[in-house]
Amino acid sequence: MSWLRPSRLWRAAPLKRHYEVVIIGGGIHGLATAYYLARTHGIRDVAVLESHYIGFGGSGRNTAIVRANQRTAENVRLYDEGLKLWPVLTDELDFNLMFFNCGNLNLGHSEAAMNAFRMQASTHNLLGVKSELLDPQQCADVIPGLDISDRLAFPIHGGLYHPPGGIVRHDAVVWGLAKGASEHGVHIHQGCEVRGIDTREGRVTGVRTSLGAIGCKRLGIMAGGYGSAVAAMLGIELPIHPLTIQAMVTHPFKPFLHHVFSSGAYHVYANQTLKGEIATGAHMDPQVNYTTDATAYYLKHQAEALSELMPALRGVRFMRIWSGLADMTPDMAPIMEGELGCDGLYLDAGWGYFGFKSGPVAGKYMAEYMSSGERPEILRAFQLKRFLEGRYSGETASVMKYGHWD
């Protein structure tokens, strides 16, 4: 009966005083980078430092939605590869990530939104990513209970349906990547808070942590929403606003919602989890902060939005609410950079809403970048200096108006 005995997914490791590579942040970006460094590039002397427990931050706080229906070609290319990695990783890690490619429906509430969707779908189709426009009746066929009448404040004009998207169990991704990284020799240190970064003669030499100083030759800042606070330790200014974004779940139902749906106009996205709850996310809080505060304001907001779009949900109760950080950039595209004026220092940040769906593919390319020192071709669009040259990505041309910083 040994298979019944619970076994640890990853090994506890002694804290060494020096590593070849140190990664700040035990979320999916950090763990995926460590995993690919060890597995693909043979760099096994790697430590992942996590201030709380692995998956404490955005990795365990998102609504688990994955998709590749971004606006611009360079982003679609990256997210499409990321989307195709889930089944590969499930196999590679020998761990069930519970990938459910149920499809995403983005609702449009004006003719302008439908025109933007039309362009977006064309970009997807040109790149071989499945997306199609639906009329209101087709939207209601896909999402039963959707109110397609003109009673809504913002009536539904149609939608952009993206069949390959869906949901992935986010805890499973964190645990699976930790398991995979650990099997390849990576040291994962939880409860290890980074308090300072040491450099000498323009090179990174190590970090100062709550568990003492740790030396390294290469350092990756992959701390999700806390990335701007970590970069601030070195005085590195970034075009990033860390904002809390709140999510919540209702009590469970029989399965009735078979796809992810979202609405930019109502600031709502929702899916039914495998446990039957409706998991739904809201808009961001306005002020920069590094908290995990949740508020009644967004419970009310979500209740209003969901019950207007789907009247059958009136009277349903929310069971839990939480929040995580979104590190917003002005152009809604990430920053993956190794030229920060300090040799050996790499930054993977600014993922905003999209840090979960991109985790494994970002890790794959950051590992390539950190092992070779050469920027992979696919990351050329995500350099920090684009913000200093006024060459913003076109991602904000998607239907969603995100906020005052874009």
Partner 1 sequence: MTFRLTCPVCGKRDVYEFTFGGQERGPRPEQDGLSAEEHFRWTQFRLIPNEPQEEWWYHGQGCGVWFKTTRDPGTNREVK
Q: Are 271 and 278 in contact (CB under 8 A)?
A: yes
In the complex, least distance from residue 11 CB atom to partner 1, rounded to whole angstroms: 31
Q: Contact with partner 1 (CB under 8 A): which of 13, 233, 321, 378?
A: 233
Q: Could you say which residues in the range 76-105 bind partner 1, by CB under 8 A?
A: none
Show the site string, 387-406: x = touches partner 1 by CB under 8 A, - = not: xxxx----------------
Q: Could you say which residues in the range 251-290 bind partner 1, by CB under 8 A?
A: 286-290
The stretch near partner 1 (CB under 8 A) out of 31-39, 101-109, 172-180, 230-238 is 230-238
Considering only CA atoms, which of 53, 93, 43 is closest in space to residue 189? 53
In the complex, least distance from residue 218 CB atom to partner 1, rounded to whole angstroms: 23
Contacts of 93 (CB under 8 A, 6+ apart): 176, 177, 179, 180
Give the residue with the Cβ less far from partner 1, 157 or 241.
241
- For residue 85, the number of C-alpha atoms closer than 13 Å in the C-beta half-sphere is 24
In the complex, least distance from residue 294 CB atom to partner 1, rounded to whole angstroms: 8
Q: Tokens representing 185?
A: 């020799």
Residue 295 as a binder of partner 1 (CB under 8 A): the answer is yes
Q: How many residues does the chain have?
A: 406
d(CA 247, CA 28): 19
Give the residue with the Cβ less far from partner 1, 240 or 245.
240
- Phi then psi for 27, rounded to 5 degrees? -105, -165
In the complex, least distance from residue 239 CB atom to partner 1, rounded to whole angstroms: 4
The stretch near partner 1 (CB under 8 A) out of 8-16, 61-69, 295-303, 367-375 is 295-303
Q: Tokens representing 179?
A: 């398991």
Give the residue with the Cβ less far from partner 1, 154 or 405.
405
Show the site string, 306-335: x = touches partner 1 by CB under 8 A, - = not: ------------------------x-----
Considering only CA atoms, which of 93, 59, 61, 55 is closest in space to residue 282? 61
Give the residue with the Cβ less far from partner 1, 50 or 277.
50
Q: Contact with partner 1 (CB under 8 A): which of 242, 338, 350, 355?
A: 242
Strand positions, DSSP E, 264-317: 268-272, 278-284
Considering only CA atoms, which of 127, 111, 342 is closest in space to residue 221? 342
CA distances from residue 283 to 110, 258, 266 in whole angstroms, order as listed = 20, 23, 9
Give the residue with the Cβ less far from partner 1, 128 or 390.
390
Pairing of strands 104-108, 132-134: unpaired
Q: Contact with partner 1 (CB under 8 A): which of 239, 252, 311, 376?
A: 239
Strand positions, DSSP E, 251-373: 260-263, 268-272, 278-284, 318-328, 335-337, 345-349
Q: Tokens representing 196?
A: 């300072």
d(CA 26, CA 174): 8
Residue 1 as a binder of partner 1 (CB under 8 A): the answer is no
In the complex, least distance from residue 293 CB atom to partner 1, rounded to whole angstroms: 6
Query: For residue 52, how many other CB atoms are within 10 A of its CB?
Result: 13
Give the residue with the Cβ less far from partner 1, 64 or 223.
223
Q: Are 68 and 272 in contact (CB under 8 A)?
A: no
Give the residue with the Cβ less far from partner 1, 227 or 264.
227
- Phi then psi for 77, rounded to 5 degrees? -55, -45
In the complex, least distance from residue 171 CB atom to partner 1, rounded to whole angstroms: 25
The stretch near partner 1 (CB under 8 A) out of 92-100, 120-128, 302-310, 382-390 is 382-390
Residue 196 as a binder of partner 1 (CB under 8 A): the answer is no
Interface residues with partner 1 (CB under 8 A) are 226, 228-229, 232-233, 235-242, 286-291, 293-297, 330, 387-390
